[in-house]
Structure 1
Amino acid sequence: MSYKCSRCKRDVELDEYGGVRCPYCGHRVLLKERAPVIKEVDVE
């Protein structure tokens, strides 16, 4: 799964047992990358 560090803005790949921490700056807040899909909802 692909994430982006909220501090240094670098792409981060997490392994299963590595924990949740940026390997570049050590920050623990990572943002999940979303697919560029726009969903449309019908409103009646």
Structure 2
Amino acid sequence: AEAAQKAESTLPQTGDDSNSTLAMLGALVTSLGLLALLKRRREEDNE
């Protein structure tokens, strides 16, 4: 039971690290997608 408790207490730390990394990647991908959409709309408006 002690080993399980130690594992549980260390898992959230690695989870937090990967979650923050995934959040940063998600924000980057989202902003790049929005920029691509805006650029495409501007090009369509100019035609």
Q: Which TM-score tier does this pair reach, normalised by the shorter chain?
A: under 0.3
Q: Compare CA radii of gyration and give the structure with the larger one.
A: 2
Quick check: which one's helix share is greater?
A: 2
Q: TM-score, normalised by structure 1?
A: 0.18
Q: TM-score, normalised by structure 2?
A: 0.18
Quick check: which one's strand share is greater?
A: 1
